[in-house]
Amino acid sequence: DVKVTQSSRYLVKRTGEKVFLECVQDMDHENMFWYRQDPGLGLRLIYFSYDVKMKEKGDIPEGYSVSREKKERFSLILESASTNQTSMYLCASSLEGQGFRGPEDEQYFGPGTRLTVT
């Protein structure tokens, strides 16, 4: 079974702190994603990566950065946390790189990190 793990289930940080959210997948997947989940808005893509050291902005990248130094690990960084970044953050991964885009290549999700910024 594919396993996607996230470093924390719950996190409380103060405004202005630098925050790291870590995601690890154990199935040698090429793609990794960071989403933000808010009530009434569904999931919105922040950043994704299709290879080590490669990244692309999603729909709401402002205030976030990412790092992918190893294939299995994808980090989301809040450079200076703000209260409007209080949310549930979901990491996901999928198998294939840019060359394959079939529907069978589903995204597998982690359990989520509920971040509160006070």
Partner 1 sequence: AQTVTQSQPEMSVQEAETVTLSCTYDTSESDYYLFWYKQPPSRQMILVIRQEAYKQQNATENRFSVNFQKAAKSFSLKISDSQLGDAAMYFCAYRSSFYQGAQKLVFGQGTRLTINP
**Amino acid at the residue 55:** K
Least distance to partner 1, CB of residue 50, Å: 4
112: left (phi over 0), alpha (psi -120 to 50) or beta: left
Question: What mask of x and - would describe binding to partner 1 in positions 12 to 51, judged by CB under 8 A?
Answer: -------------------x-x-x----xxxxxx--x-x-
Least distance to partner 1, CB of residue 40, Å: 6
Q: Residue 52, interface with partner 1 (CB under 8 A)?
A: no
Nearer to partner 1, 15 or 100 (CB): 100
Residues near 112 by beta carbon (within 8 Å), at least 6 away in sequence: 6, 9, 37, 88, 89, 90
Nearer to partner 1, 39 or 84 (CB): 39
DSSP 35-100: EEEETTTEEEEEEEEEETTEEEE-S--TTEEEEEEETTEEEEEESS--GGG-EEEEEEEES--TT-
Least distance to partner 1, CB of residue 107, Å: 6
Binding residues for partner 1 (CB under 8 A):
4, 31, 33, 35, 40-45, 48, 50, 56, 58, 90, 92, 94, 96-98, 101, 103, 105-107, 109-112
